[in-house]
């Protein structure tokens, strides 16, 4: 997993400083805007959105660092808040310069299958640029659906829809997402 | 700066040093660990109720305060209610002791005389006097002993305080901790924390419920037998049940001795129905309680078990006693189970990793 820093340190430093002096509230507003646009959360009411938002984790990744690697146990999904992420099959991940299997941008999400089953990640996810992700994990999904069954139903239906869309797309050979 | 580039042995050594350092630091502050641990147990116990109330539409603070005052109010009520009873029983026991000991003495003399027919040397040993002396010494030392060993007063202030903050800020502490975990370990640490949290919560709630059930069963059993001091003995049984193997046995010893020495109280019904002596009834009660526990209470409440090898339990009890005294004995096995659960969860998760 050791990987030499490809980008020069200056932008990453700037990025870090910019984030250190950012107010928590600004983050909160940005997160709200970010998740309101995501199809997964379309059916939720304002109140439900706020509850989901409270169980999200904002994580920041430097360019070229792994978010997870194939073979690691998966715990949940990530929504891209800013930046871009490369999804790579394990055989592609061996060399750095290989074209990604998929390139995802803000508003996209990945890893949603891990919300349902405790299993290995089949692919690796790597931050292509400096990236901020919103993590949504199985324990929080469980807690949410335990205390708010209605919200849980909506989330699970939406997730099922996404997964069946992707499955259909993979059968017909079309692109995996809208 | 980058740990990845250091040699393997260096990282290993660093981890070992960190672990040793933390162990040593914990050893130095070990007296503070008891209230901390008890507060943690209470927080685990109360979190589900607080969460439930919160999701029923109470605010977070209101939910916690309600839970908190319900719990400690209940404890205060129980103590206020039980205290006179316990005090009466203790006073009764203390005043009755010389008579009890004298009775024991005559029984022993009797036995000695009978045994002397086969083994004359036994006449020389002054068993009765020795027992009497030992019992009186123990009894005289009891108040200071209890006060010192349990040093209850700092706990009375610290435990509610710490558990309140655990309950109130536990989630925020956890979130802050997650946010500080490096990306690489984030998912692992989070999954682990959740798993361990669930298991410890179930364990703590299960054990407490089990102790309460055992206490009640013992109380009613002894009441039916008509043994005095049923309340004291039942509380003792409930607490002792936290210690596997030896606990139930230790719990039954004073009851059996009392049953040998005392006739049953006249209002008890059972002695008129059954011709067996009181001590047989008492032993039967303890056996039945243990059987019920084994076939019904433990599997139903705990569901899964933390198996610690009997030898491990003995060692853990000895360590606990050495480090923390009486509290150590009572809390050693729960603490060890929690540690074992954690280690199990960690190693399970690490088995997933290809590296």
Average pLDDT over residues A3-12: 48
Do the domain assignments include residue A19?
yes
Do the domain assignments include residue A177?
no
Do the domain assignments include residue B42?
yes
For the cut 60, the answer to whether the pLDDT of residue B33 exceeds it is yes
Average pLDDT over residues A166-178: 69
Do the domain assignments include residue B235?
no
CB-based contact, A147 to chain B, within 8 Å: yes
Segments forming the whole domain that contains residue B57: 31-116+148-169
Using one digit for the tens of pLDDT, what is the confidence trace for B246-282?
788 888 888 887 787 766 555 555 656 666 777 888 8
Do the domain assignments include residue A26?
yes
Looking at per-residue pLDDT, the higher value among B2 and A44 belongs to: A44
Do the domain assignments include residue B65?
yes
For the cut 80, the answer to whether the pLDDT of residue B127 exceeds it is no
Using one digit for the tens of pLDDT, what is the confidence trace for B17-28?
999 999 888 888
Query: Which pLDDT score is estimated for B321?
Result: 84
The number of distinct structural domains making up chain B is 1
Q: How many CA atoms lie within 13 A of B258 on its CB side?
A: 24
Do the domain assignments include residue B296?
no
C-alpha span between B249 and B231 (Å, rounded): 18
Contact yes or no for A2 and B2 at CB 8 A: yes
Do the domain assignments include residue B66?
yes
Q: Which residue of A has its CA nearest to B52?
A: A147
Using one digit for the tens of pLDDT, what is the confidence trace for B287-323?
999 888 888 777 766 655 567 777 888 888 888 888 8
The number of distinct structural domains making up chain A is 1
Cα angle value B158/B164/B169 (rounded, 5°): 125
Residue B102 pLDDT level (bands cut at 50, 70, 90): confident
Average pLDDT over residues A42-64: 87
Do the domain assignments include residue A178?
no
Do the domain assignments include residue A1?
no
Query: Which pLDDT score is estimated for A3?
Result: 42
Do the domain assignments include residue A176?
no
Query: Which pLDDT score is estimated for A157?
Result: 92
CATH of the domain at A86: 2.60.120.10
Do the domain assignments include residue B107?
yes
- Mean pLDDT of all residues belonging to chain B: 79
Do the domain assignments include residue B184?
no
Contact yes or no for B349 and A148 at CB 8 A: no
Do the domain assignments include residue A2?
no
Tell which B residues from 163 to 182 touch A, by Cβ distance under 8 Å: 175, 178-179
Do the domain assignments include residue B22?
no
Please name the residues in contact with B334: beta carbons below 8 A apart, sequence gap of 6 or more: B41, B203, B204, B207, B242
Instruction: Choose the mutation target among B182, B187, B347, B354 for the interface with A, i.e. most A CBs under 10 Å.
Output: B187
Query: Which pLDDT score is estimated for A2?
Result: 40
C-alpha span between B251 and B249 (Å, rounded): 5
Do the domain assignments include residue A53?
yes
For the cut 90, the answer to whether the pLDDT of residue B218 exceeds it is yes
B120-134, B172-186, B218-232, B309-323, range with the lowest pLDDT: B120-134
């Amino acid at each position: 997993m050791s990987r030499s820093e490809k980008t020069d340190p200056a932008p990453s430093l700037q990025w870090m400083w910019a984030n250190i002096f950012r107010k928590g509230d600004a983050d909160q507003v940005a997160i709200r805007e970010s998740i309101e646009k995501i199809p997964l959360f379309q059916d939720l009411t304002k109140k439900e959105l706020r509850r989901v938002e409270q169980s999200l984790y904002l994580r920041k990744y430097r360019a070229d660092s792994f978010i997870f690697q194939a073979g690691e146990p998966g715990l949940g999904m990530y929504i891209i808040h800013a930046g871009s992420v490369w999804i790579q099959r394990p055989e592609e991940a061996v060399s750095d310069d290989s074209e990604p299997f998929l390139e995802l941008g803000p508003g996209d999400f990945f890893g949603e299958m891990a919300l349902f089953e405790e299993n290995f990640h089949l692919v690796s996810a790597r931050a292509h640029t400096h990236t901020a992700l919103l993590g949504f994990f199985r324990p929080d999904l469980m807690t949410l659906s335990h205390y708010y069954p209605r919200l849980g139903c909506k989330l699970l239906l939406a997730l099922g829809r996404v997964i069946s869309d992707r499955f259909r797309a993979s059968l017909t050979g079309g692109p995996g997402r809208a | 700066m980058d740990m990845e580039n250091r040699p393997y042995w260096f990282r290993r050594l660093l981890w070992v040093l960190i672990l040793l350092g933390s162990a040593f630091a914990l050893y130095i502050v070990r007296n503070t660990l008891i209230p901390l641990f008890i507060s943690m147990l209470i927080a685990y116990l109360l979190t589900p109720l607080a969460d439930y109330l919160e999701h029923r539409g109470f605010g977070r603070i209101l939910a916690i305060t309600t839970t908190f005052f319900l719990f400690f109010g209940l404890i205060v009520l129980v103590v206020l209610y039980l205290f006179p009873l316990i005090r009466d029983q203790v006073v009764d026991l203390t005043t009755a002791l010389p008579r009890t000991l004298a009775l024991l003495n005559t029984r022993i003399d009797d036995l000695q005389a009978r045994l002397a027919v086969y083994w004359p040397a036994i006449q020389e040993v002054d068993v009765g006097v020795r027992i009497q002396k030992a019992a009186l010494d123990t009894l005289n030392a009891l108040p200071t002993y209890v006060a010192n060993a349990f040093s209850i007063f700092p706990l009375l202030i610290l435990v509610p305080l710490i558990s309140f903050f655990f309950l109130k800020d536990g989630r925020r502490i956890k979130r802050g901790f997650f946010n500080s975990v490096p990306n690489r370990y984030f998912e692992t640490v989070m999954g682990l924390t959740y798993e361990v949290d669930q298991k410890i919560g179930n364990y703590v709630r299960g054990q407490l419920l089990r102790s309460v059930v055992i206490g009640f069963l013992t109380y009613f059993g002894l009441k039916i037998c008509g043994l005095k001091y049923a309340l004291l003995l039942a509380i003792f049984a409930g607490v002792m049940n936290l210690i596997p193997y030896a606990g139930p046995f230790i719990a039954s010893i004073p009851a059996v001795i009392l049953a040998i020495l005392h006739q049953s109280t006249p209002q008890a019904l059972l002695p008129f129905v059954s011709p067996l002596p009181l001590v047989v009834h008492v032993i039967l009660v303890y056996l039945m309680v243990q059987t019920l526990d084994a076939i019904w209470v433990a599997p139903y409440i705990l569901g899964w078990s933390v198996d610690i090898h009997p030898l491990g339990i003995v060692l853990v009890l000895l360590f606990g006693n050495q480090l923390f005294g009486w509290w150590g004995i009572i809390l050693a096995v729960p603490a060890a189970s929690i540690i074992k659960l954690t280690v199990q969860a960690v190693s399970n998760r690490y088995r997933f990793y290809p590296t």
